[in-house]
Structures are given as C-alpha cells and as structure tokens.
Amino acid sequence: MNIASSRHFSKLVQDYIGNFSSSTVNQFFYCSPTPDSATLEKIFQAKIAEQASNGGEALRTAVIARITDTHTRFGGMSANVIKNLEAFRSSNSLAVVTGQQVGILGGPLYTIYKALHTVLLAKQFATQFPNNAFIPVFWQETEDHDFEEVRSTALIGSDFELKHISYNPSALPDRVQVGSLPLETEALQQFFDTIEATIPHTDFTDDVLSLFKRCYQVGMTFADAQAALFCELFADSGLLILNPNTAEIKSYARHIFQKEINTTPQLSQKIATLSESIDKNYHTQLDTKGTNLFIAENGRRMKVQIDDDKLSLNNSPITREQLLQIADTQPERMSMNVVMRPLVQDTILPTVAYVAGPGEIAYFAQLSAAYDWANLQMPAIIPRISLTLAEDRFEKLVQKHNTSLEALIEYDGELVRELLQSKHEEVITDTFIVTNDQLEKAIEGLRNIVESTDASLAASLTTLKGKTLTQLKDFSSKVLAAERKKNQAAKQQFEKALNVLLPDGQLQEREINLLYFLNKYGLSFWDKLLGYLSETELPFGVHSIIPVSAIITGIENNPSTAKE
C-alpha cells in the first residue's frame, strides 16, 4: 500500500515519504528520509563535536550507568547489550534513537516496530560506516501526564470483537508524570482478569499472560514495567533502554533549560513563524505558545506560564531567577513538552537518526526551527516500518469477493458496502417477474381449449393460475431471503476482518497490542517476527501487508490451537 497516496497518512507525511524532492516539505527537514552517505557523515561529525563539548566521556558514562541499572534490574544484560554498552564508551559512538510513551503492555504494535527498526537501522549504519559504533537506544517518554493515552490496550476477543481494556486505579492521577505511577494491586488484578476473560483461551495463553504479568507487577512503575517488557522482548537485539528522568542525566541539559527560561517565548515564536509556512500546504500539529517547560512540584507536573513577560507556576508568580535555580540545583524537576523533549534527547545522546512515526514526522517539520534555536544538529528523521499482519482467513475472504486486503484496508466500509450491495437481488426479482408473466400467459393460453372442451372447467383453470402464481411468489421470497442471509453472513465476516485489520478505522499497528498475536500463535511468534523483519528488506514508502503464515512457517504445521 503506497504511503504517498494512502488516506491513512497526512499530506505532509505522504510528501515526506513519497515526494520529498519535488514538494515544499523538503524546506522543513535537514535531509531526506533516505539520506546519502555524505549527508550522514556531516551529521556524524556534528554530533560527535556536540557530545565532546557537552561533557564528553562524563556524559557517556552517566548515560551508560543509567542504562546499565535499568537492564540489570530487569535481567536484560544480554551479550549484545553488554557489547553495545562497551561500544558506547567510544568518543566515535553514535546513537540511533526512537522513543515512545510508556503505554501499558508496551502500547500498540507500532511501538515495538519502532524499536525493532531502530535496531535494524543501527546494524545497517554499522555495515555502511565501519569506523563508527552505532548504538540503538529506546528513549522512554516517562514525563507526560496524559494518563488516558497510556492506560488502555486494544485486543481482539473470542468472536473477533474489538475490545479496549483499561487499567483503572483507585483514583485517576492529576497531572502526575505517568512514568512514575506505581501499579496498584486491585487495579492490576482486575486488568489482567478482564484480559483473560476477553481473549480466547489457547495452548499459549498461560505462558503469554505470565510474560506480561512478570513485567507488570504490583509496585512497579509504568516506566519500569515497559522497560522490563522491552528487556525481555529485545534481550538478544542489543537495544538499550534509557529512562532519562534523573538529576544526573538532566544536568547535562541544563543549558537548554536555562536558554528557554532566559529567552521564552522566543522558541515558541520561532516555531510559530515556521508553522505559518508549513500551513500554506499542510496541516500543523503543534500549537506552541508561551514556555515549553513544566516543573515537577509535589508529585504533579505544572506548566510554566508566561503572560506579558511575567512567569507563573500553578497560578503563583515565579521569577526567571527562581526557575534558573531549579534548573541548576534540581534539574530532575525540569520537565519537557513535545518541543523540548527532542532537544534534550539530542543533547544527552549523539543522535544521528531518529526512527519516527507519522505523527512525529509532522512534529519534526515544525521543530527544525527548534534545532536552530538550540544550536543543535537535527538528526535524519527516518520513517519507521509500517505494516499490517494479515491472517490467512482474511486473505481467503477477500479473494472470495474478488478484492484484496490492500483495497479492504484502504477503503474499508465503503468497499464492503459496495461488495455486499446485492445486484443479484435485482436479478432474482427481475427473473421471477418475467417468469410470473410467462407462466400467467401460458396458463391463459389454455383457456380457449379448456372452455371449448368444457366451459365449467374455466373456473378451475382460474383457481389453478392463482395457486401457481402464489406459490411462485412465495418461492421467490424464499430465494430472496436466502440471498440476504448470505450477504449478512459475509457482512459479519468482513466486520470481524476489519476489527483485526483496521480496528476503529485505524491501521492495525496503531491500535492492537502484541498480546493478541502471541496468544494466538505462541511466544515463538515474536522470535519469528523478529527474524522475518530482520531478514526481509521491506520496500521504502510502503505500508506492507505481511501474511501471518509467512512469519509462522516452521513453528507448527497447524498453528491454530484454540481449545473448543
């Protein structure tokens, strides 16, 4: 499915991926999504210089220590993780980065696709540029306070119905950084009980639930639980998990915080000016106003407000000097919005490429002004792999109706209505009308000979005609009912397919959790998926539709093991 023409992607993303050189979108990025070697090497040199001027070895040591602590706590110190941590110590080491909010159970499928793509891209760069070490890093976005965005997961039930299952704590948090929220006993138990009651029970269910329960335990925070899950899923890939929300890590971004405090709202104004240019051809997502900082205060995340150059926090006045004091002595209290996060990230890490989803690509178009403001080299923005996992039953369904999975995903309801709009009903009705007329004429054609033989039989002939035509009408109704029943069954089959392939009208990767496929095909499905995507070069600029059968080949002759 060509992303450049798919309705599932914004015009900006379509042009960035499919028409970069011939559209105005190229004005808003440092380089194309497929940068050449010379451009990448310029980025490499810039990032190495930036790291050297911002702590150098001390910064790398602090980052390595933080990552090591996370992986040690969750059993993620595999040979490849240790290898990458050692390589990270080199002054020539560079980072290939992605990040995501700490969604429960790891979030939708696209989160793991981003992480996997980051690993693959780091390996690609290592082969292409052997003089540098390229480290895949997953930056945990732990500071956002939008609890609604991370508390639920989407799964498919026993009859292919789409279910959104939420984690419901005893009280909804108020502006608390989600990454620091601990998981509660009763809420977590209810969450997993609901999942177990929703999904079909297979030979794999117990092992799959055990994996997720092992990672999402009472008392663990959302950030720790996501890290634990990723340490298990990516144990052998060498992916490094970084939760940057500490005083030591953030101390290396003091100068970014200080510049924002001293110059606000300059950064927002620069982005707003750039956004006016973007809005001429595209839709912008960021609406920046005022400051781009929050302060963690008494467990809550409060926006630093500005009005006529006067700053306030939680409706109380605060001076620039007071904010600078916090940045200097308590940097862990400084919290970034969507504008500041990549600037801090690319100050802490030598980020040469960021693996981005469609929404992030749109953000980065506006953020080129922010990198100029921060005097930072903008990394290459690489669109993440985009794919739908298609089960065989859905392939057979579309083939039966002479269409394709690509058409179904692209046009969904409109296509289904067209496919099920029964022109055969018209054929049936018209055929029976013609037959009724022909039969009536044929019976009437007997009238002269009947009446000439015995006039008293004329009434009997009329009765015969009435009964015959009535039976024909009744029979036509049965045929029409059978046709409508067949269409209803097909409609239900399409509804089930769309729940998996296009849940809530969104691409599968944006809604469904990995647990659905693991429960159906076993934990080995994850290893097979990793292997498949590692060995298969997916075409650039395409949303790939991958048959599940191509992934699970070799697991079992019959992967369907649902218990009756």
Q: How do residues 54-75 score in pLDDT, each as one tens digit?
A: 999 999 999 999 999 999 999 9
Indicate if the pLDDT at residue 561 is higher than 50.
no
Q: Are residues 345 and 493 in the same domain?
A: no
Query: What is the structure's pLDDT at 483?
Result: 73
The per-residue pLDDT for 305 is 94
Give the pTM.
0.89
Per-residue confidence (pLDDT) for residue 474, from 0 to 100: 87
Span 254-275, average pLDDT: 96
Would 233 be classed as within a structural domain? yes
Task: Looking at the structure, tell me whether residues 316 and 203 fall in a common domain.
Answer: no
Looking at the structure, tell me whether residues 223 and 86 fall in a common domain. Answer: yes
Query: Angle at the Cα of 234 (from 221 to 384), degrees rounded to 5?
Result: 95
Residue 22 has φ and ψ, to the nearest 5°, of -105, 10
Torsion angle of C-alpha atoms 174, 178, 184, 190, degrees rounded to 10: 90
pLDDT for 298: 83
| 407 and 346 assigned to the same domain | no
Residue range 499-505: average pLDDT?
A: 93
In a domain, 29, yes or no: no
Q: Give the pLDDT of residue 478.
A: 83
Q: How many domains does the chain have?
A: 3
pLDDT per residue over 90-134, tens digit each?
999 999 999 999 999 999 999 999 999 999 999 999 999 999 999
In the listed set 348, 365, 388, which residue is the last one of a domain according to the structure?
A: 388
Q: Band of the pLDDT at 251, cuts 50, 70, 90?
A: very high
pLDDT at 429: 84
Work out the average pLDDT over 216-241.
97
Inside any domain, residue 178: yes
Instruction: Give the domain-ending residue among 284, 300, 328.
Output: 328
What is the reported pLDDT for 420?
60
Is residue 422 domain-resident?
yes
Q: Pairing mode, if any, of strands 300-307 and 310-313?
A: antiparallel
Say yes or no: 300 and 156 in one domain. Answer: no
Query: Could you tell me if 236 and 124 lie in one domain?
Result: yes
- Alpha carbon 544 to chain centroid, angstroms: 14
Do 289 and 350 belong together in one domain? no
Cα–Cα distances in angstroms (integers) from residue 320 to residues 256, 310, 312, 413, 439, in the given order: 14, 9, 10, 54, 95
pLDDT of residue 422: 56
**Listed range (359-368, 479-488, 516-525) with the worst mean pLDDT:** 479-488
Q: Please provide the DSSP assignment of 325-388 as one string.
A: HHHHH-GGGEEE-TTHHHHHHHHHS-EEEEEE-HHHHHHHHHHHHHHHHHT-PPPEEEEPP-EE
% of the chain surpassing 90 pLDDT: 81
| φ, ψ for residue 542, nearest 5 deg | -125, 135
Same domain, 132 and 196: yes
Residue 18 counted as domain residue: no
Domain membership of residue 549 (yes or no) is no
Tens digit of each residue's pLDDT (9 = 90 or more) over 373-413: 999 999 999 999 999 999 999 999 989 888 889 988 988 76
pLDDT tens string 363-382: 999 999 999 999 999 999 99
Task: Band the pLDDT of 540: cuts 50, 70, 90.
Answer: very high
Whether 413 maps to a domain, the answer reads yes
Domain holding 287, by residue range, is 255-328
Last residue of a domain, one of 306, 328, 350: 328
**Mean pLDDT confidence for 213-219:** 97
- 305 in the same domain as 375: no
Give the pLDDT confidence score for residue 419 in this predicted structure: 63
Q: Is there a single domain that holds both residue 462 and residue 366? A: no
Q: Are residues 432 and 284 in the same domain?
A: no
The answer to whether residue 26 sits within a structural domain is no
User: What is the distance of C-alpha 344 from the center of its chain?
Assistant: 24
| pLDDT at 507 exceeding the cut of 70 | yes
Q: Choose among 99, 29, 10, 39: nearest CA to 364.
A: 29
Q: Are residues 244 and 361 in the same domain?
A: yes
